[in-house]
Amino acid sequence: MSNESNYWLRVGSLMGLLAVVFGAFAAHGLDEPLLKLYGEKTKEVLGTEIPAAQKYLADFKTAAEYQMYHALAILAVALLPASVSRRTVNIAGWSFLLGILLFSGSLYVLVLTGQTKLGMITPLGGVFFLIGWGALIMATFQTRTE
């Protein structure tokens, strides 16, 4: 396996491990901190007022889910055959990683701190996810010639 493949295998594995940690934290450790942070505040979701803590817990879980999906995508990047364009594969890997950091990372920070200004970063992470998937599609059509 090439050094690039090993790199993406390590990164994907680390992102997957952290997704499990953050998902477990959401399931078992966030209730009390979110209730303290958001108290009786509410948020409107689909025209219905719900407790803010409930909405932000769901956001944290979404961040962990997207992190796991894209950790798996990074593992796919690592396992692509050497004949596939490595440049495009690396664009996909870096885009998935940046997407995790910006999308999931901004949601984690937003939920844990209440700093809603960070919500401006979240869509940028989504754009990087899209770029990553597009690059991965392109990579499958590009083969290296020796």
Q: Kind and range of the H or E element at 6? A: helix 3-28
**91 in any annotated domain:** yes
**129 in any annotated domain:** yes
* Number of structural domains in the chain: 1
Share of the chain above pLDDT 70, in %: 98
**84 in any annotated domain:** yes
pLDDT at 81: 87
pLDDT (tens digit per residue) in 57-68? 999 999 999 999
pLDDT at 1: 76
**Alpha-carbon dihedral sign for residues 127, 132, 135, 137:** negative
Q: What is the mean pLDDT of residues 14-31?
A: 96
Asked whether residue 22 carries a pLDDT value surpassing 70, the answer given is yes
Question: Which domain covers residue 83, as residue numbers?
Answer: 3-141
**55 in any annotated domain:** yes
pLDDT (tens digit per residue) in 103-144? 999 999 999 999 888 889 999 999 999 999 999 999 988 876
**Average pLDDT across the chain, whole number:** 93
Residues near 141 by beta carbon (within 8 Å), at least 6 away in sequence = none
pLDDT at 2: 84
pLDDT at 3: 87
**32 in any annotated domain:** yes
Asked whether residue 146 carries a pLDDT value surpassing 50, the answer given is no
**146 in any annotated domain:** no
Record the pTM.
0.92
DSSP letter at 117 equals G
pLDDT at 145: 57
Q: Do residues 89 and 140 make contact, with C-beta atoms less than 8 angstroms apart?
A: no
